[in-house]
Amino acid sequence: MTTTQLESSSPFFFLRKAFFLPYFSILLVMKTEDRLAFAIGRIENGCDIFSGQWVRDEESHPLYKESECPYLLPQQTCLAHGRPDRDYLHWKWQPHGCSIPRFNGTMMLEALRGKRMMFVGDSLSRGHYGSMVCLLQKFIPDNAKSIEDAGQRTIFTAKEYNATIEFYWCPLLLESNADNPWKHRVEERIARKDSINKHGQHWRGVDILVFHTYLWWYKDEYFKILEGSFEDKVKKIIDVRSDDAYRMALESMLKWVEENMDPAKTRTFFTSISPTHGRNVLWGGDKKGNCYNESTLVENLNYDVPRPLKKTMRVIDEALSNSNVQITFLNITRLSNYRKDGHLSIYKKQWTPLTAEQLANPVSYSDCIHWCLPGVQDTWNELLFTKLFYP
C-alpha cells in the first residue's frame, strides 16, 4: 500500500521505520475533511517539524528568564543552584526546510479560556508542565493567577481566563505502588492490570491532555503486574517483560482516550521518550563520564538514540499505529538526544546531604535524566503549540 493510499484509508497513518531513520519522525495525517479541535491552520506541506537541527538564537531564546518564573521547582532551577554557563539557554529548534511559529502565550491563553489543560505522567511530565506554566504566567497579572498543590494534582489557574493548566502525578498511568507523589521511591514497582480508570476519573473533562510515560517501566527486564486489587490480602503478582507491560499501559491509555475524549472538542497528545545522557562514551567521551560538565550539543547530526530505546520506540509505534484513536504524537526523542548540555547535572536541590565520596566525584550524583528550565522542554511546548494550532 502506498503512502497516498494509507492517507486516504485511515484517520492517520504512521510512517513505518520512522524511529530508525536519521531525519524521520512519526507523522499524524488527518483526512482532509477532518478538523481537529483548536486547529486554526496547517503547517506547510511536507514539513516535518521534528526533523531539523538546533541553531544558535540569542535574541528570542530563552523564552523566559528563570528568575522571572516563581513557579519553578528547586529541582528545575539550574542557575539558582550554581550552574556557571549560560550557553544551554540560547538554542532554537529549526526544522529542515520550514519554520515553526513562535510560541504565542496570549493566543494560547485565549484558546484555553474556560478550559482545562493537563499534563499526565512522571517527573519529566512535571517538567513539561512547569515549562508551560512559565511560558504563560508572564502574560497574567500577579493578582490574576494562582497555584495549588492538591495531592496528585498541581493546578495553575489563570483567573481572568477561567483556565487551568494542571499536572497529574501517575508515573505508570495505571494504578501502582508509586502513586503517592511524596513517597513514590519504591524498590519493587508494581502496576495493577486494567486499572486506568483509577486515575482516569481525574482526567475526565480535560480539554487538552498531554500524556508521558516511559522511564518507570524500564528499571529491570521484567515488571511486576498485579492481577486483582492492592487491597487483596493474598495478591496475585506476575512478572511480565517490561516491553509487554509498557505496551499494556499504552493500550489502556488509548482505550481510555477513545472512550472519554471527543476529537471534535478535545485534543490528546502523547510525548515520546525523553532521552537520558548517562554515558558520554556514546558521543565519544570518557567511559567514566556522563552529562556532568557537558556544555555543548552533540554536533553529529547522525547521532542516534541507543539501541534499547529503539526497541521501546517500536513498542510505541506498534501501539499507536494499531489504534484508531485520534492522538497527536510529539516525537521529541531525537531532537532532545542532541542536548547533552541541557540536563540538571549537579545544579539542583539535593534532598539528602551528599557524602564526601559523592562530593569528590560529581559524576556520581549528576542528574542526566531531568532538564533545566528554561531549556529543552520549552522547545517541546513550542512543538506542542505548533501541533495544537497547525496540525
Q: Give the span between the Cα atoms of 175 and 231, in whole angstroms.
A: 12
All three cell numbers of 105: 502565550
pLDDT at 5: 31
Q: Predicted confidence band at 22 (pLDDT cuts at 50, 70, 90)?
A: very low
Q: Residue 49: which residues within 8 A CB-CB, separation 6 or more? A: 43, 95, 98, 100, 383, 386, 387
Q: Is the pLDDT of residue 24 over 70?
A: no
Q: Is the pLDDT of residue 296 over 80?
A: yes
Point out the catalytic residue in the list 176, 252, 370, 378. 370
pLDDT-above-90 percentage for the chain:
80
**Better-predicted residue by pLDDT, 121 or 299:** 121
Per-residue pLDDT, 387 = 97
Question: Is residue 370 annotated as part of the catalytic site, yes or no?
Answer: yes
Our answer to whether residue 57 is catalytic in this structure is no
Cis peptide before 374 (omega within 30 of 0): yes
Least confident among 18-27, 48-57, 289-298: 18-27
b/e string for 43-74 if b means 16 or more Cβ within 10 A?
A: beeebbbbbbbbeeeeeebbbbebeebebbee
Residue 89 has pLDDT above 50, yes or no: yes
pLDDT at 43: 84
Of 25, 123, 195, 274, which is the active-site residue?
A: 123
Q: How many whole angstroms separate alpha carbon 10 and alpha carbon 269?
A: 18
**Three cell numbers written together for 248:** 499494556
Q: Is 379 exposed, middle or buried (0-12, 13-18, 19+ CB in 10 A)?
A: buried
**SS3 per residue for 159-175:** HHHCEEEEEEECCCCCC
**Alpha-carbon Rg for the chain in angstroms:** 20
Residue 50 pLDDT greater than 50, yes or no: yes
| pLDDT at residue 23 greater than cutoff 80 | no
With the CA atoms of 381, 385, 387 and 390 taken in that order, what torsion angle do they form, in degrees rounded to the nearest 10? -160
Residue 16 has pLDDT above 50, yes or no: no
Cβ neighbors of 371 (< 8 A, separation 6 or more) are 76, 124, 127, 274, 339, 342, 343, 344, 377
Q: Report residue 104 as a C-alpha cell.
A: 504565542
Burial classification of residue 236, based on how many CB atoms lie within 10 Å of its CB (0-12 exposed, 13-18 middle, 19 or more buried): exposed
Cα separation, 61 vs 49, whole angstroms: 18
Tell whether the model's pLDDT for residue 7 goes beyond 60: no
Q: How would residue 33 be classed by pLDDT, with cut points 50, 70 and 90?
A: very low
Catalytic residue among 122, 179, 367, 378, which? 367
User: Is residue 277 annotated as a catalytic residue, yes or no?
Assistant: no
Q: Quick one: pLDDT at residue 34?
A: 59
Q: Out of 299-308, 314-323, 362-371, which region has the weakest mean confidence (pLDDT)?
A: 299-308
Residues 132, 139: Cα–Cα separation, whole Å: 12
| Cα 387 to Cα 39: distance, rounded to the nearest angstrom | 8
Greatest alpha-carbon span in the chain: 64
For the residues 54-72, what does the mean pLDDT come to? 96
CA distance 363 to 371: 16
pLDDT, tens digit (0-9, with 9 covering 90-100), for 154-184: 999 999 999 999 999 999 999 999 999 887 7
Average pLDDT, the chain: 90
Decide if pLDDT at 152 tops 50.
Answer: yes
Which pLDDT score is estimated for 26? 35
Q: At CA 47, angle to CA 207 and CA 390, rounded to 5?
A: 25
Residues across the chain: 391
Cβ atoms of residues 239 and 224 within 8 Å: yes
Look at strands 116-121 and 208-211 and give their pairing. Answer: parallel
Q: Which residue has the cell 480539554?
A: 207
Whole-number Å distance between alpha carbons of 170 and 175: 8
pTM above 0.85, yes or no: yes
Q: Is the pLDDT of residue 45 over 80?
A: yes
Task: Give, as one character, the DSSP assignment of residue 102.
Answer: P
pLDDT at 149 over 50: yes
Read off the pLDDT of each residue in 229-234 and give the average, rounded to a whole number.
91
Query: For residue 86, what pLDDT is reported?
Result: 96
pLDDT value at residue 302: 85
Q: How many CA atoms lie within 13 A of 114 on its CB side?
A: 1
**DSSP at 191:** E
Q: Supply the DSSP symbol for 67.
A: G
pLDDT for position 14: 31
